[in-house]
Amino acid sequence: MSEQFDYIIVGAGSAGCVLANRLSADPAVRVCLLEAGGSDASPRVQTPAGTITLYKSKVFSWNFFSTPQKELNNRRLHTPRGKALGGSSSMNSMIYIRGDASDYDRWAEQGCVGWSWADVLPLFKKSERNLLGQNPALHGTLGELLVDRARDPNPLSALFVKAAGRVGIKANDDFNGGDLEGAGIYNLTQKDAKRLSAYRAFVAPVSDRPNLKVLTGCNVQSLVFEGTQVRGLNLLQDGQPVTLNCSREVILCAGALGSPQILLNSGIGPRAELEAAGVPVVCDLPGVGKNLQDHLDGLVTVRSASPLTLGFSWGSLGSILASPFKYLLQKKGWLTTNYVEAGGFARTPLAGALPDVQFHFVPGYRSHRGRLFEWGHGYAVHTCVLRPKSIGELRLSPQRELEIDYNFLADMDDAKVLIEGLKLARKVLADSSFDGLRGKEMLPGAQVQSDEQLMAYIREYAATVFHPVGTCKMGVDAMSVVTPQLDVIGVQGLRVADASIMPTLISGNTNAPCIMIGEKAAQMIVAGKVTNPATQPTVVPA
C-alpha cells in the first residue's frame, strides 16, 4: 500500500493536531495525520477524573521507564506518554500554563530568532478561547482551545490557596496574566465539564475535510530518503507494512521521546551511537537525543480522617455513588476533578527574581506506596524544580531500544532547590487553615527534618512530573538539531515541531507551549520559510 500526501504529520498530540488543522485549511494541499495509538472515545479519557486511570494504562499510555538513575538510588522512573488521538493532552491534568515570558526571551537570546515572548504571545492568543474575561491584551477569545475555571473544586483547594497566602505566597487568579508567581486554582482546557484535548479542539471539528486524512494504529519505522531529501516514511499500521509518500514535508510531532527516536532509527543522529546500534548513517547530527530536561518532583502526602477530601471510605460512599448523577445532571462533583486543582509558583531562599518551584496541590490522598488507590483520605503537595540544571539524554541501545537517561541531580543545585521547595510546601500545610483536617504526614514523614534526611528522601522517592523536552534542540550551535524554522539540519523536507525542540525547559506545564509550537510551525510553513544553508553540517550519503 502506498499513498501520496503534501504533508505528513507524525503524532496527533498537542502540536500535531494544531498543524493538521492549520495546514488542511488550504483545500489545495493533502494532509495526513498519523497516530500510533487509537481512539480517544472512552469515558476514562473524556471525564476529567479519569486521568488517574490512564498513566499506567496499556491502551492509552506508552509506559516507558528510564535507565537506572544513579543519583536516585538507581531507580528506574516510570515515564508515561499519551497513546491515543490527542497524545498526552488526552491523559494530562488539563492545566493551562504558558510559562514565564523570560523563558521565551531566553530562547531568542540563544539565537532562536522569532521565538521571543513578543513573537509567541500572538500565537498563544490565536489558539485560545478564554472564557474567564481575563486581560484581552494577554488572552485570546476566538481560538479553538477553551480555557475555563475548574467546575467544582474541592474545598481543600481553596484552603491551600488561603494557607499559601498566610505564609507569604500571594494569591494569583491568572498564572498567564503577566506574573507567574503566587498560588491559585488552575485554569483548565475543558468544555462542558469534559476534557478538551488538542484532538477534540483542533481536529475533530474539521475531520470532515476531504483533504485531511487521520490514521491511527501507525508506528513509524523509518523515514524514506532520496539522497538527503525526505520523500515519505515506512510504518506499520495495525501490524501491516505501509509506505506513505510526501511531496513537501514530513513533520515529526511525536514528542520529546518519539521524535528523536524516529530520527535515530532513520540514521539521523550521533554517528558513533548509530553505528553501535547498527543503523546506517544518513546524517551525522550529534545533538539528536541530547539535552533532555524534565521537572524533578518531590511529594508531601498527609493522611486525614476528613471525608471532605477525595478518597474511598465508608464516609464518602454516598458522594461516590452520587457522583455519576451529579456529573451528568449538574456537571459538578468528584468526576469533574483534575486532581491537581490548585497550586502555584513560589520562590525559595535560593531563588532570584523569578519563582524556582511549582506546586501541584491534590485534595486527596496520594499513596505513600505508589498505589493507584488507597483506602481512606488525605491531601498532598507535589513540588517540582522549575529550571533544572541537570541535563540527560536519549540513546538507542545495541538492540535499537530507546534508553531514557534523565541524569537527575547531576547538578546538585537541583537537589538544593527541591529541598527548600519541600520545606516551603510543609510550611503551607502547617498553617492553621488545615488544623481541622490535619493527620499524619506519611511522606517524607515527621522523622525526616534535616537537609541530609530530605536529601535521602529525594533519592528514594523523587520522580519526574512528566514534562520531558529538549531532545531535538532548536538553535544555531553545534548541538542543535533543528533551525529556528524547525527544519532538521542536514536534510531536506523534514521538520520537528513538539516539546523536543525547546532549547530549555519552560517554567510550568508543557501542553499550552506545545500547542503554541504547532501554531508557530504552521505559520512558518505557510509563509514558506527556508533553512539557512550555512547551518548545514556535513552529510553522509545514504
The rounded Cα 229 to chain-centroid distance in angstroms is 30
- pLDDT of 535 reads 39
Q: What is the CATH number of the domain that holds 11?
A: 3.50.50.60
- pLDDT of 372 reads 67
Residue 190: inside a domain = no
Are 232 and 319 within one domain? no
Are 212 and 312 within one domain? no
- pLDDT of 323 reads 87
| Other C-beta atoms lying within 10 Å of the C-beta of residue 74 | 10
Distance CA 284, CA 268 (A): 6
Residue count of the chain: 542
Question: Is 377 labeled as catalytic in the residue annotation?
Answer: no
State the DSSP H helix or E strand holding residue 122, giving kind and residue range, or none if neither.
Answer: helix 117-127
- C-alpha cell recorded at residue 185: 486554582
Distance CA 190, CA 169 (A): 27
Q: What is the CATH number of the domain that holds 454?
A: 3.30.410.40
Helix-helix angle 451-461:413-429, to 10 degrees:
100
Residue 317: inside a domain = yes
State the DSSP H helix or E strand holding residue 63, giving kind and residue range, or none if neither.
Answer: strand 61-65
| Other C-beta atoms lying within 10 Å of the C-beta of residue 241 | 10
- pLDDT of 538 reads 39
Q: What is the pLDDT along the chain (542 residues), one digit of tens a residue?
A: 467 899 999 999 999 999 999 999 999 999 999 999 999 999 999 999 999 999 999 999 999 999 999 999 999 999 999 999 999 999 999 999 999 999 999 999 999 999 999 999 999 999 999 999 999 999 999 999 999 999 999 999 999 999 999 999 999 999 999 999 999 999 999 999 999 999 999 999 999 999 999 999 999 999 999 999 999 999 999 889 999 999 999 999 999 999 999 999 999 999 999 999 999 999 999 999 999 999 999 999 999 998 888 888 777 777 888 888 888 899 998 899 999 999 999 999 999 999 999 999 999 887 777 766 677 899 999 999 999 999 999 999 988 899 999 999 999 999 999 999 999 999 999 999 999 999 999 999 999 999 999 999 999 999 999 999 999 999 999 999 999 999 999 999 999 999 999 999 999 999 999 999 999 999 999 998 443 333 344 334 33
b/e string for 88-117 if b means 16 or more Cβ within 10 A?
Answer: bbbbbbbbbbbbbbbbbbbbbebbbeebbb
**For residue 385, what are the CA distances in angstroms to 114, 426, 448?**
27, 16, 20
Are 282 and 240 within one domain? yes
Distance CA 334, CA 319 (A): 8
b/e string for 473-499 if b means 16 or more Cβ within 10 A?
Answer: bbbeeeebbbbbbbbbbbbbbbbbbbb
Are 423 and 332 within one domain? yes
- pLDDT of 536 reads 44
Residue 125: inside a domain = no
Q: Which residues share a beta bridge with 377? A: 304
pTM of the model: 0.95
Instruction: Read off φ and ψ for residue 9, nearest 5 degrees.
Output: -110, 125
Residue 247: inside a domain = yes
- pLDDT of 542 reads 34
Are 252 and 302 within one domain? no
Please report, as a single letter, which amino acid is at residue 422. Answer: L
Are 312 and 449 within one domain? yes
Are 498 and 524 within one domain? yes
- pLDDT of 533 reads 36
Distance CA 267, CA 480 (A): 16
Are 506 and 455 within one domain? no
Are 339 and 428 within one domain? yes
Range of the domain at 421: 151-185+296-387+409-461
Q: In 3D, which of 444, 433, 524 has the Cα closest to residue 485?
A: 524
Are 204 and 307 within one domain? no
- pLDDT of 317 reads 78
Residue 47: inside a domain = no
* Residue in 295, 360, 377, 467 annotated catalytic: 467
Cα-based angle 176, 179, 181 (whole degrees, multiple of 5): 105
Are 429 and 325 within one domain? yes
- Is 220 annotated to bind a ligand? Reply is yes
Are 434 and 347 within one domain? yes
Contact between 143 and 126 under an 8 Å Cβ cutoff? The reply is yes
Residue 124: inside a domain = no
Instruction: Read off φ and ψ for residue 242, nearest 5 degrees.
Output: -140, 140
Structural domains in the chain (count)? 2
The β-bridge relationship of strands 229-237 and 240-252 is: antiparallel
3-class secondary-structure state, position 364: strand
Quote helix, strand, coil % in the chain, to nearest 5.
Answer: 30, 25, 45
- pLDDT of 369 reads 72
b/e string for 406-427 if b means 16 or more Cβ within 10 A?
Answer: bbbbbeeebbbbbbbbbbbbbe
